Structure 1
Amino acid sequence: MLVQSLLLIACLGYRVLSIPTKPPDTHRRRSFKVENIRRNNDIQGPTALRQAYRKYGISPIDLGVEFPDFEPIVVKNAIAKKNVSEPEAAGAVTAASVQEDAAFVSPVTIGGQKIMMNFDTGSADFWVMNPNVAGIDLAGREVFNVSNSTTFQKMDETTFRISYGDRSFAWGYVGTDTVDIGGAIVSNQAIGIATTVSSSFLEDNYYNGLAGFAFSTASTMRPQQQKNFLENLAKDLDEPVLTASLKPKAVGEYEFGFVDPDKYRGKLVNITIDPSNGFWQIASLHYQIGDGALIKRDNAAPAIADTGTTLMLLDDEVVRAYYAQVPNAAHLLAVGGYIYPCNQTLPDLSVGFGDSHLAYLPGEVLGYSQVGTNRTTGVPVCFGGVQSNQGSKLQVLGDVFIKAFYVVFDLRGPSIAIATPR
């Protein structure tokens, strides 16, 4: 049996590695906390899937089947509250979910201006919206205004340009400014100042920029790629790490420079990553559904840990096998992904974490949200948190995966580690 606790990491015949940690009282903590978010009962599953496909340039091959009895739920936008509850500890900030865990946003101070941003280990650039973005509606937004910063410096002839497979994009010029995340400060952080973005970014009004934590080799800034915030900050930290302790539909935490043993149980499983493509990338060769057979796939796509993607995108073979175990589940054309009756119990799923380990996720964390209703039966229909990567060269371990663990992104090695959260 794999199950020894709610969430656990299993070892496939090899020893479990533990990441070195220091006692809490020897380290000046650097963490950050997100301001409170008022979440409507929004249904964001199909939107989250489209965003993930857009980010990785995935063009769906399997469009799904027709379901005439399906009645979708209307989606509304989330609104951020203005009140902020900051922790007493120096450098502490929370990370709260918005739109049913469609994103986790955090306040970042740039040149003295607080901006709500999405922390993204799946991209490398730090970029923000500003009042001069073409077509922007400033209502409800707190964008970065370069003219209100006394420390902003434009970088001559330097630009950034992010584009995706469906032609969505963000581009603009680059400058430097002082960035403060919960007391962790970089004085000359390279920042992309967006001047033109596609409608998809204009619609995401619950955050106003992206803080990329993938490796600088994936930066789109030109003519010279620029380091991300963690890479610039690393020399000032006791440990060059970013940890993620995200909570489902609640307030979680990111933290710089400290692996906190009070936030996890047991041992951390530490896997050396392959950063050659700029991602926090690992092998994911195995999977197991419930108590079924352990399946190894030599042709499995590598997996990346991505805090900026909501869902888990796994190889189609794995996803098809998973939903084959769920009565009346189907890949539905109307939403572009797998749905199932909300009254069904999802099976557990274990996925490869490196060559030698399995990460176990109980079925109750793998549902995402209600997406509609069956008109005939009246049964609510739910959108799965595990979806197909549609034959992509990558599997993506998004927030559905990450919020189930305590996760350490470590520049030493570099490596990534996970453990059972407290």
Structure 2
Amino acid sequence: MLFSRVYYGLTVLIASVSATPTIRRHVSSISPRTPPTPLPAADFSTAITASVPRTKAKRFLIQALRESQAAQAGSNFTTVVGGSDFDEEYLTNVTFGEQDFLLIVDTGSSDTWAPQIGFSCFDLSNNSVPQSQCAFGTSGFDINASSTFVTLPDTNFNIEYGDGEFLTGTVGFDTVTVGGMVVPNQELGIVTNAAWEGDGFDTGLMGLASPNLTSVFEGTDPGADEFPQTQIPYNPVFYSAVQQGVVSNPFFSVALDRGSFAAENSPDLDQNLGFIAFGGIAPVNITDTAITVPVQGYNAATFLPENASSVTYFYYTVDVESMSFTGNEKVFGTTNNIILDTGTTLDYVPTEVADAFAAAFDPPAMKDDDDGIYVVVCSATVPEFTVNIGGTTFTVDPADNLLPLGVTDDEGNDLCATGTFDGGPAEEGNIFILGDTFLHNVVVTFNIETDEVTLTQRAPYTNGGGGVGVQRRSPSSLRRRRL
């Protein structure tokens, strides 16, 4: 198929999960260290908001972003973020030239893109369908209405995601503004062909991972694209900001709040779901529990993690020493690297960990083999899950391990899925992800200059109760990843 030839980024990883992948774990030779205290306030920060769209998710964008709370951390580039798709995705407001869009915030990919006005929409089988079926939040980016847009000739944008969505188009440069941070001449994907299962709110995505995952290729024929042979890597938005001296420090920070059950039953944006901060730490309450660990590098030729003198960075991948939970007598050591990814709703952990954790619910969560999820009554008592990274233990609030499914059992009890899923056996070659279930409980600060991440345990918080939601569709539609 024309649009299925380019698989990289987490597309590669997630495709591999279902096919018994071969990525091996290599413990980093760089020792974990205690981060400086306190981390500096951000230069810029922006809001994360969320939405809970109607079933068909065919709504126009609602401009309901919360005002920036930069005052909490001085003169920052900080903005509030939130979620859409039943709080499954986190969004923030991003401006291309003079045009505003809500974009998905994703640390598991690198490209920033939006559809061009007049784009063609396809279903996941590559059949042409009406534009409305792609369910973007706006009609798209009008490049002719931007006084600062410049086309990059003889190139194409081409990406396919792990859930089957694909996008192709052209490439250009424009001024990108997010949370008060202005990045001139930023390279962007301008989508002209899209297979996208939107929510009626997002109009694209802002990727924050390595330049090595970017999706621009030589020539104008997507069918001729080969990764990495014809790839033309470029600086994602934050890398450009650092290179241009827009921020004081070469790191950005993400704090994702869990959504509430009440918000998940509302058709409006869920507006108060955390921050993304550029140049410093996100302005939320934190504890003294913190550790700085290296990002795992990969062998670019084999796509396997390794500790050689020369490695390539793709994802924000860290070594996890162990996992456990309340009442458990066994500490589960992991044998694989784990990716920190805001674009994944759930945590995907080794099978023996997921099975034991589900059994520790009261009453126990039962595995639905058809859909690959653990189902439990929403009134269940949930153990506190823990993750040890760099010798420091981080806790996951029980509220984050109950995800409402919007269905009831024969006795009328509301049913939930656990937020910690089976990612496959803990054997050489498997891949795991710490997604939003874990990330609701920490602030993660990504240093792109030193290739390190600092994890800081958040102080307990509440925003109405309940864990982050997922789409109230059939359980099989729970997304492993957006990207």
Q: After TM superposition, give the deviation of residue 187 of structure 1 in Å.
A: 0.8
Query: How is 1:321-340 mapped onto 2 (pairs within 5 angstroms)?
Result: 321-326=356-361, 327-333=363-369, 335-340=371-376
Task: Give the unaligned 5+ runs of structure 2.
Answer: 1-30, 122-130, 219-231, 260-271, 299-312, 460-483
Q: How does 1:76-225 map to 2 (within 5 A)?
A: 77=57, 80-87=61-68, 89=70, 91-135=77-121, 136-137=131-132, 140-141=137-138, 143-165=140-162, 167-198=164-195, 201-223=196-218, 224-225=232-233
Does the C-alpha gap of structure 1 residues 140 and 170 become closer, same or farther in structure 2, counting only changes over 3 Å? Answer: closer
**Structure 1 pair 353/81, CA: closer, same or farther in 2 (3 Å)?**
same
Aligned residue pairs: how many? 367
| Cα shift at 1:85 | 3.9
Matched, 1:408 2:445: yes
Query: Tell me, what secondary structure is at the counterpart of 2:380?
Result: coil
Equivalent position of 1:51 in the other structure: none
In the TM superposition, 1:273-352 aligns within 5 A as 273-276=295-298, 277-297=313-333, 300-326=335-361, 327-333=363-369, 335-352=371-388
Q: Which amino acid aligns with 1:352?
A: N
Q: Name the stretch that deviates more: 167-176 or 303-312.
A: 167-176
Are 1:264 and 2:278 matched, yes or no?
A: no
Residues 131, 365 of structure 1: alpha-carbon distance in 2 compared, 3 angstrom cutoff:
same
Name the SS for the 1:156 alignment partner. coil
User: 1:377 aligned to 2:411?
Assistant: yes
Q: Measured at CA, do residues 412 and 145 of structure 1 come closer, stay the same or move farther in structure 2, by a change above 3 Å?
A: same
Q: Counterpart of 1:119 in 2: which secondary structure?
A: strand
Q: 1:148, 1:100 → 2: CA distance?
A: 33
Partner in structure 1 of residue 254 of structure 2: 244
Q: Is the 8 A contact 1:301 1:315 kept in 2?
A: no
Which position in structure 1 is the counterpart of 2:455? 418
Native 8 Å contact 1:340 1:381 kept in 2: yes
Check the 8 A contact 1:127/1:210 in 2, yes or no: yes
Given that 2:175 and 2:186 are in contact with CA atoms closer than 8 Å, whether structure 1 keeps it comes out as yes
What is aligned with 2:308? Answer: none
C-alpha contact (below 8 Å) 2:137/2:199 kept by paired residues: no
Letter in 2 for 1:125: D
Q: Is the 8 A contact 2:340 2:434 kept in 1?
A: yes
| Secondary structure at the counterpart of residue 278 of structure 1 | coil
Residues 332-341 or 400-409, more deviating: 332-341
Instruction: Determine if contact 2:136/2:201 at 8 Å carries over to the other structure.
Output: no
One-letter code aligned to 1:403: H
Contact 1:280 1:305 (C-alpha < 8 Å) held by counterparts: yes
CA offset at residue 278 of structure 1?
A: 0.3
- Unpaired segments of 5 or more residues in structure 1? 1-13, 43-74
Under a length normalisation based on structure 1, what TM-score does the superposition of the two structures give?
0.79
Question: Aligned partners of 1:140 and 1:217: how far apart in 2?
Answer: 29
Q: Is the alpha carbon distance of 1:103 and 1:153 closer, same or farther for their aligned partners in structure 2, counting shifts above 3 Å?
A: same
Q: For the structure 1 residues 315 and 192, does the alpha-carbon distance in structure 2 shift closer, same or farther, using more than 3 Å as the test?
A: same
Q: Is the 8 A contact 1:97 1:248 kept in 2?
A: no
Partner-residue secondary structure (3-state), 1:268: strand
The residue type equivalent to 2:430 in the other structure is K
The Cα offsets for residues 393-412 of structure 1, whole Å up to 9 and x where unpaired, read as 32111111112112211123
Q: Deviations over 1:11-42 (max 9, x none)?
A: xxx98612454665xx7x311124x65536x7
* Contact 1:345–1:364 (CA under 8 A) maintained in structure 2: no
Distance 2:138 2:456 in 1: 36
DSSP 3-state at the match of 2:355: helix
Residue of structure 1 equivalent to 2:52: 39
- CA 340–31 in structure 1, closer or farther in 2 if over 3 Å, else same: same
Identity %: 23
1:184-215 Cα deviation digits (max 9, x unpaired): 111111101111122xx143332111111110
Q: Return the offset for 1:294.
A: 4.5
Residue in structure 2 matching 1:365, options 394, 400, 403: 400
For residues 143-166 of structure 1, give each alpha carbon's deviation from its aligned partner in whole angstroms, at most 9, with x where no partner exists. 211111111111112222212456
Deviation sequence 1:114-140 (CA, Å, 0-9, x none): 011011110111111222321322785
State the Cα distance separating 1:302 from its structure 2 match.
0.9
Query: Does the CA contact (< 8 Å) of 2:275 and 2:282 recur in 1?
Result: no
Cα separation, 1, equivalents of 2:136 and 2:395: 42
